[in-house]
Structure 1
Amino acid sequence: MSESIFDRIRAAEGTVLDRPTFHADSDREEEKLDGGVIWKLERAQFFNELDDPAWDAFIEGDWTRVLEIFTGEREWIRGEVARYARRGLRFRRLRIVEDPPTPYLQWESHSHRIFVECGHDIRALDAAEVAGLERAAALPELMVYGDRVLYQVRYDEGWTPIGAKRVDDRDLVTEAAAAVAALWKRSEPFPDYFRRVISPLATPDTRRGDTR
């Protein structure tokens, strides 16, 4: 069985960065881009969000507050979209989704819906479509900045973000961008996924502590 590009990314040598360093480093790389695409690939169906009021409201069972917070982010999101547009950048986020959706995915999807309505590019792809790429392990969580650098985002056992592995191999970065772009072409617009799968769901009851 041949190695996929995602297997090679997991095995690749790189610089391990803690969370603050990763954020600062990726911001610098974004500033160096002169147009092009920034790819974000999300595979896990649960993350433990940090410093996020909407997440805090979610785990407290306050769904009304969750939606209020997401709605209140519209102006900031539009500003981000405009900032990318001025620089000729496209931020494309590909969300791998499992069925049935986890409570976390349901929560996140309401945020993604707002982002799309404000101009962000987000698409959804059923996990069954990537099963052939996951014989060794699930797809890694990735950020790919043009053809310059990629980051394999790192999490602890509870899926709390702890930083990233930075990979500078240009050939690997270029292949990674092409691989995510190929998955993107097979995915569906996020609003279609939201209407079909998320919209009919009842409000998740997170008072039981079930966010996964």
Structure 2
Amino acid sequence: MRDPNALALAPSSGQRLSVDDYRQDFRSLRTEIRDKDSWKFERRQHFEEDSASRNAFRQGRWREALALLEERREPLLQAVRRDKENNTAFHRVRVVEEPLSPYLQWELHSLRIQAECGKPVRVIQAEKLTTLEADGRLPEVVVLGGEVLYEVVYSGTGTTLGGIRFSDATLIATWEEFIKELYGGGEDVLSYFDRRVAHLPPPGRTG
């Protein structure tokens, strides 16, 4: 089992970015990546987001929320085509705790559509992280092209506060390898969705 100390992210070792700066920095680097893959580790079970589907879900309009997710297929297919042209892929590992939170049930519908459009997404059970989380949950992390690591920072309620940008090569390589290992041992989100999500009734309103 990996040493949890090797995954520690000291904020003082990185560059703190506001929400706008984080998103701009992320988008700029993401579009430049060629011939390298990126990796995302998503741990929290609830986020606050501002999107048409998320807002419909928040207000209890479940069918509308799902219909709005379906409208994202063409942009997703375009994004996958661009990634193929650049010989890159953005892999995502989604940690799940059961029973699923209302937010996660909604997000898994979104991830299913992303996977159907060609994005690589896998699910792992939170229990696999037990020995690594004795002192608390692991952070939300994105590694772009093996060059930059972002810890995405959230409020207690799941609102994005910004990010911390790390450039230490050893830290980046350690996290990239860790997420790759989880991905390798994970379950394809389409399989997980069919087993554990498709049959669920609409969740209650949130937010």
Shared fold per TM-score greater than 0.5: yes
Distance 1:163 1:25 in 2: 11
Distance 2:15 2:39 in 1: 19
Amino acid aligned to 1:5: A
1:200-211 equivalent positions in 2, closer than 5 A: 200-206=199-205, 209=206
TM-score of the two chains, using structure 2 as the length reference: 0.95
Distance 2:124 2:95 in 1: 5
Aligned residues: 206
2:39 corresponds to 1:39:
yes
Amino acid aligned to 2:6: I
How far is the alpha carbon of 1:88 from its aligned partner? 0.6
Distance 1:93 1:25 in 2: 19
Aligned twin of 1:23: 23
Runs of 4+ aligned structure 1 residues displaced above 4 Å come to none
Aligned twin of 1:126: 125
> Identity over the aligned pairs, expressed in percent?
31
Change beyond 3 A, Cα 1:3–1:123: closer
Distance 1:67 1:159 in 2: 21
TM-score of the two chains, using structure 1 as the length reference: 0.93
Aligned twin of 2:168: 169
Distance 1:92 1:24 in 2: 20
Amino acid aligned to 1:48: E
Residue segments in structure 2 that go unaligned for 5+ positions in a row: none
Show CA shifts across 1:140-188 (max 9, x none).
1011012211000001121100110000101110111001101111110
How far is the alpha carbon of 1:33 from its aligned partner? 2.1
Amino acid aligned to 1:18: S
Provide the alpha-carbon RMSD of the alignment. 1.5
Show CA shifts across 1:108-154 (max 9, x none).
01111111111100000000011111111211101101221100000
How far is the alpha carbon of 1:205 from its aligned partner? 2.3
Amino acid aligned to 1:53: A
Change beyond 3 A, Cα 1:176–1:144: same
Distance 2:19 2:158 in 1: 13
How far is the alpha carbon of 1:3 from its aligned partner? 3.8
Aligned twin of 2:81: 82
Change beyond 3 A, Cα 1:204–1:34: same
Contact 1:155 1:161 in 2 (8 A): yes
How far is the alpha carbon of 1:10 from its aligned partner? 4.5
Contact 1:140 1:152 in 2 (8 A): yes
How far is the alpha carbon of 1:37 from its aligned partner? 1.1
How far is the alpha carbon of 1:28 from its aligned partner? 2.0
